[in-house]
Every structure is written in structure tokens, then in C-alpha cells.
Amino acid sequence: MKILVVGLGPTSIGFLYRYKELSLKETLLNDNELVIIEKNNKPGGLSSSITIDEYSFDIGVHLFASHYEYFTKILEKYEKMGLMKRKIRKSLIFYDNKLIPYPFQSNIHLLDKYKALLMLDSMKKSSNIKFGDNINLKQWAIEKFGYEIYRSFFEPQNEKSWGIPLNNIGSYWLSNRIPKPDVEEIEKKINHGEKDGTQTNWGPNNEFFIPSTGRCGDFWSKLVENLSLDINYNTYCGFYVPDVIGVSCSIFHGNTCLNDHFDMVVSSAPLHEVILEIQSPKNLKNPFSNLDNHLRYNFLCNTIVVIKGDVPEKFKDVTWIYLPNNDYIFYRLSIVTNYSHDTSPPGTFLINLEASYNNSFLDNIKIIESNAKRILMDLELTFDLSNIIRIIIQNPYPLNYPIPTLERNTVLNDIIPYLESQNIYSRGRFGMYKYEVGNMDHCFMQGVELCDRLFNSGTEYTIHDPEFVNSGQMKLDDD
């Protein structure tokens, strides 16, 4: 069998990792021919790291949280080799010029008493609503936290990161992401004038792994190196022409284009691109050519700021800070140096700011720079603008979020089986479009599970049952 693997991000790396593992047991697999192509000059995709002069950073700060025993074992193996370390999350929210711990709803006692009481009052009317197919994100959040918290924090924070109104987003993907507020406890804290914040340890990324040196892309590069694969970098797969026994693909490298036939394609390229690139052999109309309108995504405006000096004491162990204030175009700030000290020269530190590209003002570099500077001054990450050594804005902007719109599942339920009937297996963050299983561990495991299904009679849990895998109970059938 001849198999084309398109892209070399975590999804394909997971597929190839499992393939190598299975081919040690099942020697027949070694008769297959694997052709691996990646349009960039390195592995990792959105999880690769970038080095510009003496600064290195991710596309948005990346960290490894694992919902899977299989993936955790790999991270622990690297930890034993001294290549990975663990870190505890400390995330804050900059609200009303105050830094309060995340989650917002558990810490409203730190706000002005009048505001806190208003929020508490509307929270009392809230219910423990379950996410579901017929409830949009706006309805869900108002019902869960009350209108005051929705209006003050949830809506501005989320509309900035998703880039579309929350009533166009479903709630079906939420599973256990957001804790239920304990109203009695919050009321006690407001009445007692409690001054300390509550940093709760819910969620899979409370403790996470990060590389001991460098950034997350370095982990993927090492993993790929250890697989000893033959990889065609700077190579792009364009058109797909399915037939009854496989798929003909156009593969571009430099100025050359090669047409080759494969029994099967495993793709982690964005689904909205793949759909448009499928050509029917007899010029029949592609049945899905207009469906990409329903697969919505946004871009990331990733901005790195290099600052002279050390990370100020009050931010020493902070991982990231949410920025709900609508005067800021960025929705999140991360202190890269607090993850890895070697990402910039001694005597400097790195800040990463993320904005969703949904507004044309992000084309205006001056606005991005002045907004970034304002945030750093407001937060007191620096007191003097002359300490800002450099601002790096990543342009063109990479893909950011696959948006869980209300229509998404209906569209996917049509497209994915159609593609499989044409021998094209699309998986991964933008290959499967499921944000809830779109992190590195999920994508790596989407690749592992696909390989297991195709060559080891395994089951694909991640794409079919996100809620189950996100509960952390998931094991491979033969684990």
C-alpha cells in the first residue's frame, strides 16, 4: 500500500509514531510505502517554535497538558532524560486595574464591593445548566454565571478571542472546562472582606509539561528526529482526484509538480482547504465546495515584546494574564521567560501577546505596537517605554481557533465520511475542526488512534467522544 501523509504537525507525528511502534510487531506494515510531505522546512506545524536573532518563541505560548496515559508516558520519558519539566499554572485576569486570579467567578470578592454584590445577586439566579446542542454559548454563560458576570467578563473576554458573537457559537464542546461557581462560598468571602484570591486547580492544565530548555517546537523536532523518517520538506500537496482504488495527488516542490497515485491519504492540512482542492475525475461538481463557509476559523496576531531587565517580582511565577478590557486588542498576555529562561539573552525578558485577527485594525502595525505598549505600562510590567527593546509581530498571521459554530457538527458529519469514502483521512486541529480536541495531546492522539484503527483494529475515541477523552480516563485498547 502507498500512503501519503500530508503535513508534519502533532497529528501526523502521532500517526507516524504509532505506525513505527506497530510495525515492530506487525512486520507486514514494513511493506507499505509512506510518503511524508510538509510545506514548511521543519516539523511541528502550529506547535513549532520560531527563532529570530537571539529570541525564540512559540506561535502563542504552548504548554503540554495531557489527557492520555499514552501521551503522558512519552512526556515522562523525556522528563527522565532531563528534557522536560513540570510547571504549575498561575493565571490572572487584569480587570478594573486589578490583578485577580482565574477563574473570575470564584474571585469577585476582590472587586469593589458594590460590583461584587451585583454579580453575586445575578449569580444567585443562575443554574447549573448543562452544555448542549441547542444552547448557544451566550445562553449557556448567562444561565451558568448570571448576566452581570457574563456582561463584565465572559462576553468581552470570549468575543475577543473567538472573534465572533457568542450567540453564533455552540456550547456542546464545553464538557468539563469551566467550574461551577460556589455561590455560598463567594457570598461569605464578600461579607468577610476576604483579601486573598482563590487559585483553583481544576482542569487538565493546572500542572503541565514544558521543555527544560527552548520551546515546545524543540520537543516535536526531537521526537521526529528519533523516528528516523524520510521527510520531504518544502513540499506542498495541492489537488486531490479520488478514484475507486485511491487518490491521485499533485505534489509541488520548488518549481516542479509531480502527479502521483496513493491508496490512502492521511491529511492534517486545514479541512477548509482540502474540500476546495478535491477534483472530481469527470469534472463532476465537488459536492462540498460551498461548505467551507460553515467551517469558521480566525487568525492569530502573535506579538512578541522584548523588555530590558528582569520579570518584575509580582509577576515572577505568573504564566498568563487574561485581558477582558475592550480597550486592549489583545485577549491574553503570557510571560514567555517564566516558561523558559533561555528564550532571550540574560538581562531581558519576553512577553507574548495574542489577538484574534478579526478586525482590519490588526493590519495597522502602529496600532498593534501602541496597544502592546499601553498594556505593558498599565500592568506595570515596565515603567519606562525605553526599556522595550523590540516588538516582533508575526505576519502573515497563522491560523488560531477552529470555531465551534452551531452548524459545525452537521457539516463535519457530512464531510468526514465523504472524504473517507474517497480514501482521504482528515484529522487534527484544522483537519477535524474540533476545538475541544484540538490541542497538541489531542492531535497527537488523533493520529495515534487513526493509525490504530487502520492497522490494529483500534477505535478512534478522540474524534467521536471528546467529553470522554477530556475526562482523562482514556486508554488505548492494548495499553
Ligand X SMILES: Cc1cc2nc3c(=O)[nH]c(=O)nc-3n(C[C@H](O)[C@H](O)[C@H](O)COP(=O)(O)OP(=O)(O)OC[C@H]3O[C@@H](n4cnc5c(N)ncnc54)[C@H](O)[C@@H]3O)c2cc1C
Residues near ligand X (CB under 6 A) are 6-12, 37-40, 45-47, 59-60, 62-63, 236-237, 268-269, 300, 354, 400, 428-431, 438-441, 443
Contacts for 137 with CB less than 8 Å, ≥ 6 apart: 158, 166, 167, 169, 170, 171
Min dist CB 43 to ligand X, Å, is 7
Minimum distance from CB of 76 to ligand X (Å)? 16
Dist. CA 363–CA 135, nearest whole Å = 34
> In angstroms, what is the minimal distance from the CB of 74 to ligand X?
13
Nearer to ligand X by Cβ, of 78 and 150: the residue is: 78
Q: What's the closest the beta carbon of residue 134 comes to ligand X, in angstroms?
A: 28
- Distance in Å, CB of 401 to ligand X, minimum: 7
Residue from 276, 302, 224, 327 nearest 14 by CA: 224
Question: Judged by CB, which is closer to ligand X: 152, or 334?
Answer: 334
Query: Cβ of residue 432: shortest distance to ligand X, in angstroms?
Result: 8
Nearer Cβ to ligand X (349/430): 430
User: What sign results for the dihedral spanned by CA atoms 365, 366, 368, 372?
Assistant: positive
Burial class (CB in 10 A: 0-12, 13-18, 19+), 378: middle
Q: Which long-range contacts (CB under 8 A, 24 or more apart) does 282-289 make?
A: 287/418, 288/414, 288/415, 288/418
Q: Angle at CA 111, nearest 5°, toward 108 and 117?
A: 65
Distance CA 479, CA 465 (A): 19
Q: Using the minimum distance from each CB to ligand X, give the nearer residue, 152 or 268.
A: 268
Residues 65 and 91: their CA atoms lie apart, in Å, by 15
The CB-of-300 to ligand X minimum distance in angstroms stands at 5
* Least distance from ligand X to the Cβ atom of residue 37, Å: 5
- For ligand X, the closer of residues 62 and 408 by Cβ is 62
For ligand X, give the closer residue by CB, 142 or 451: 451
Of 189 and 429, the one with the shorter C-beta distance to ligand X is 429
**330 is written with which cell numbers?**
489583545
Q: Which is nearest to 58 in space by CA: 420, 339, 414?
A: 339
Cα distances (Å, whole numbers) of residue 349 to 114, 271, 376, 469: 38, 37, 13, 36
Distances (CA, A) of 215 to 190, 221, 302, 339: 41, 11, 15, 8
Closer of 300 and 451 to ligand X (Cβ):
300
Asked whether 351 and 335 are in contact (CB, 8 A), the reply is yes
Nearer to ligand X, 140 or 430 (CB): 430
Choose between 237 and 388: whose C-beta lies nearer to ligand X.
237
Q: Shortest Cβ distance from residue 127 to ligand X (Å)?
A: 31
Q: For the chain, what percentages of helix, strand and coil (3-state, to nearest 5) are there?
A: 40, 25, 35
Cα distance between residue 431 and residue 434, in whole Å? 9
Output the smallest distance, CB 328 to ligand X, in A. 17
